[in-house]
Amino acid sequence: MAEIKKDNLEKALSMKEGKKEEKKEGRQEMPKEMEIGFHQGALNTLLNERNELIRMIQQVEVVMQAHMKRLEELGIKIKMSSEKKE
């Protein structure tokens, strides 16, 4: 097994941090219109993803309800822990 030299590791980590700082300082600002478009596009994508996730959850719920209904027909009562308590 190769020996790990602590000095080399610390030097590598400090170089990596230095590069991150250089990138932050040296980065160019995006024009306002471009940044607005970027954020609008990101929100549009996330809204579509959220809507698809909701649709998937609804489909899973329908299938679960069908299984629970059939089990009740077979005489098995199911109590879901996620149901709201009154």
What is the tens place of the pLDDT at every residue in 49-77?
Answer: 999 999 999 999 999 999 999 999 999 98
Give the residue, 11 or 35, on which the prediction is more confident. 35
CA distances from 4 to 10, 11, 17 (A): 11, 13, 20
d(CA 73, CA 51): 33
pLDDT the model gives residue 86 = 46
* CA-derived radius of gyration, the chain: 27
d(CA 40, CA 48): 12
d(CA 49, CA 46): 5
Under the banding of pLDDT at 50, 70 and 90, the label for residue 20 is low
